Amino acid sequence: MNLSIKNVPEELARQLRERARRHHRSLQGELMAILEEAVWGDRRRLSPGEVHQRVRELGLRTGAEAVEMVREDRDGR
């Protein structure tokens, strides 16, 4: 989907371009990041440790556990 904003004041456009430069993004990428933050707010990225903790809390299997499950299934035949 494409969105368009008309009549953006020049100073605002300049500030957005500068912000994009500071974040090493294109203007399009920076605008997307701003929209994502506005929509998803504090749903921040989790650290690897936080992801592992969430996996455990949800009772999900890790890659190593999945490999072990396959081995057990294979050896049980």
How many domains, in total, are found in the chain?
2
pLDDT tens-digit series, residues 8-31: 999 999 999 999 999 999 999 999
pTM of the model as a whole? 0.53
Say if residue 57 is in the same domain as residue 74. Answer: yes
Q: SS3 for 44?
A: coil
Q: SS3 for 43?
A: coil
pLDDT band at 77 (very low <50, low <70, confident <90, very high): low
Residue 52 within any structural domain of the chain: yes
Determine the structural domain holding residue 23 and report its residue range.
10-40
Residue 74 within any structural domain of the chain: yes
Residue 15 within any structural domain of the chain: yes
Specify the pLDDT at position 47: 80
Residue 19 within any structural domain of the chain: yes
pLDDT tens-digit series, residues 29-63: 999 999 988 887 767 777 888 888 888 888 887 77
Say if residue 49 is in the same domain as residue 36. Answer: no
Residue 17 within any structural domain of the chain: yes
Say if residue 50 is in the same domain as residue 77. Answer: yes
> Quick count: other Cβ atoms within 10 Å of Cβ 30?
19
